[in-house]
């Protein structure tokens, strides 16, 4: 565990240079270790970069503030997204990393979607697990076919189905190549999520 650009994070070097490096972005209450097992399952041997969110909500780390459940502080989201983008660029230079593929869950998926829209070209792609629309008025970034896997839970009590569909539409409108799957799951991750992300990463 180390700190770069004020982000506490975990970095795991690659043991398989053919795998794209992964950016792992945890959900509310998680930390830089939460998604390491996921990263190792979906891309064995890949380099893993996993930062901890800098915002605390009742003691729980998050990547940006919210005003209520499902209501984001968009000014804070924009600033935090820019900070995360700077951290990613710094880490890429420091570790000699190719463009990263984000794997984000819940709050981490939301800021991954914000990275795609606000910093097009920074990420090679993104797997967004239980994500919501990050910006009411999204930046019109040219995503130029950037691959995105969006996995939603049909029984998710936090993310409405129409919100997931709106995010898919928003990303497609920005030029991303979006694969959207609705899974028989709630807000938590399932074995099907892991299998789908693993196959998607392998096909990049």
What pTM value is reported for the model?
A: 0.96
Strand residues in 43-174 grouped as ranges (E): 48-51, 55-57, 60-62, 66-68, 71-72, 101-105, 125-129, 147-153
Confidence of residue 137 (pLDDT cuts 50, 70, 90): confident
**Alpha-carbon distances, residue 150 vs 83, 104, 110, 131, 189 (angstroms):** 24, 10, 11, 7, 13
Which amino acids are annotated catalytic?
Answer: 106, 156, 187
* Residue-wise pLDDT tens digits, 87-97: 999 999 999 99
Structure tokens at 93: 């230079």
Q: What is the mean pLDDT of the chain?
A: 94
Query: Would you kindly state where each structural domain of the chain is located, as residue ranges?
Result: 2-202
**Residue range 2-202 in CATH 1.10.238.10:** no
CA gap 170, 173 in Å, rounded: 5
pLDDT at 1 over 50: no
* Residue-wise pLDDT tens digits, 166-194: 999 999 999 999 999 999 999 999 999 99
């Amino acid at each position: 565990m180390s700190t770069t650009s004020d982000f506490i994070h975990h970095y795991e070097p690659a043991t398989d240079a053919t795998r794209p490096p992964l950016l792992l972005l945890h959900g509310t209450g998680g930390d830089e270790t939460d998604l390491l097992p996921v990263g190792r399952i979906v891309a064995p041997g890949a380099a893993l970069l996993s930062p901890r969110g800098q915002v605390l909500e009742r003691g729980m780390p998050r990547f940006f503030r919210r005003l209520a459940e499902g209501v984001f502080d968009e000014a804070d989201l924009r600033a935090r997204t820019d900070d995360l983008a700077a951290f990613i660029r710094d880490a890429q230079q420091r570790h000699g990393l190719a463009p990263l593929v984000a794997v984000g869950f819940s709050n981490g998926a939301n800021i991954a979607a914000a990275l795609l829209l606000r910093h097009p070209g920074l990420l090679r792609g993104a797997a967004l697990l239980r994500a919501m629309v990050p910006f009411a008025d999204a930046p019109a970034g040219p995503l130029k076919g950037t691959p995105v896997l969006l996995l939603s839970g049909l029984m998710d009590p936090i993310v409405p189905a129409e919100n997931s569909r709106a995010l898919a539409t928003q990303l497609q409108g920005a030029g991303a190549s979006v694969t959207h799957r609705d899974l028989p799951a709630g807000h938590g991750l399932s074995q099907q999520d892991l299998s789908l992300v693993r196959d998607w990463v392998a096909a990049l």
